């Protein structure tokens, strides 16, 4: 769950600025391959597909064969488990999107230029009541690097590849014929072994 929280964090930081804030959500459709590192664990790879118009995301977790569908405006997130033909609705997931949308008091301080995955970005120090860290954001809102900590732990996320491309709406749709499973709070983290 800590890794998913970090991935979702990439999508939903809402900064408060005296001046105009930088774009903190992608303003263009994009697919980003990320490597996520947490203390005491080997790095894990995720792929994020984002639809800028609908503010929906799909986060593929190849290690577990699952993926997450996130709808930021609706404040919802679900895990799709193809091996079981199931959609897992868990309060833990939707609570994360709510927390991300409520980070409207975060402050971003520019730290200078950076570059990851062959793209230029601006580094920022991010401070909020929920945690702190640094991020490197492209001018169009793609997070190329994030390193920080909150109550859930510490993580470092690095973009390995970025492709600006149209993502079909089916990418963000629940597959037809899948059963819906509801898990109690805390059960999803146990299911994923986190």
pLDDT in tens, 116-153: 999 999 999 988 777 788 999 999 999 999 998 877 77
Domain 2-186 has CATH 2.50.20.10: yes
Query: What does the pLDDT read at residue 97?
Result: 57
Q: Residues 52, 28: contact at Cβ < 8 Å? A: yes
Sign of the Cα pseudo-torsion (73, 15, 29, 88, in order) = negative
Residue in the structure block whose two tokens are 């570059």: 115
- Read off the tokens for 184: 């109690």
Query: What does the pLDDT read at residue 35?
Result: 96
Is a pLDDT exceeding 60 seen at residue 13? no
Residue 140 vs residues 30, 136, 143: alpha-carbon distances, Å: 10, 12, 9
Residue 102 pLDDT level (bands cut at 50, 70, 90): very low
Average pLDDT, integer, range 24-53: 93
Query: What does the pLDDT read at residue 92?
Result: 56
Q: Residues 31, 163: contact at Cβ < 8 Å? A: yes
DSSP characters for the chain?
Answer: -HHHHHHHHHHH--EE-SSPPPP-S-SS-EEEEEEEE-TTS--EEEEEEEETTTTEEEEEETTTTEEEEEETTTTEEEEEEGGGTEEEE-HHHHHHHHHHHT-TTEEEEEEEEEEETTEEEEEEEEEETTEEEEEEE-TTS-EEEEEEEETTEEEEEEEEEEE-----GGGGSPPTTPEEEE--TTHHHHHTT-
pLDDT digits (tens, 9 = 90+) for 162-185: 999 999 999 999 899 999 887 666
Residue in the structure block whose two tokens are 């909150």: 150
The pLDDT mean for the chain works out to 81
Q: Is 79 exposed, middle or buried (0-12, 13-18, 19+ CB in 10 A)?
A: buried
Residue 90 pLDDT level (bands cut at 50, 70, 90): low
Average pLDDT, integer, range 53-74: 90
Residue 4 pLDDT level (bands cut at 50, 70, 90): very low
Among 27-36, 62-71, 95-104, 165-174, name the one with the lowest average pLDDT: 95-104
Query: What does the pLDDT read at residue 191?
Result: 54
Residue 73 pLDDT level (bands cut at 50, 70, 90): confident
* pTM as predicted: 0.82
Q: Residues 180, 87: contact at Cβ < 8 Å? A: yes
Query: What does the pLDDT read at residue 117?
Result: 97
Residue 113 pLDDT level (bands cut at 50, 70, 90): very high
């Amino acid at each position: 769950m800590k890794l998913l929280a970090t991935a979702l964090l990439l999508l939903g930081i809402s900064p408060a600025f005296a001046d105009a804030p930088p774009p903190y959500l992608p303003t263009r459709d994009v697919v980003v391959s990320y490597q996520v590192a947490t203390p005491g664990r080997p790095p894990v790879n995720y792929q994020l597909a984002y639809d800028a118009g609908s503010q929906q995301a799909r986060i593929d977790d190849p290690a577990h064969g699952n993926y997450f569908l996130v709808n930021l405006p609706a404040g919802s997130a679900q895990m799709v488990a193809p091996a079981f033909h199931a959609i897992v609705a868990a309060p833990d997931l939707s609570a994360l999107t709510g927390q991300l949308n409520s980070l409207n008091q975060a402050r971003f301080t520019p730290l200078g230029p950076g570059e990851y995955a062959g793209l230029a970005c601006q580094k920022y120090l991010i401070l909020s009541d929920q945690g702190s860290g640094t991020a490197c954001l492209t001018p169009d809102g793609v997070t190329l690097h994030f390193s920080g900590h909150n109550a859930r732990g510490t993580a470092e996320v690095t973009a390995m590849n970025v492709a600006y491309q149209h993502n079909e709406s089916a990418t963000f749709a629940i597959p037809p014929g899948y059963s819906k499973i509801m898990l109690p709070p805390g059960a999803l983290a146990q299911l994923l072994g986190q």
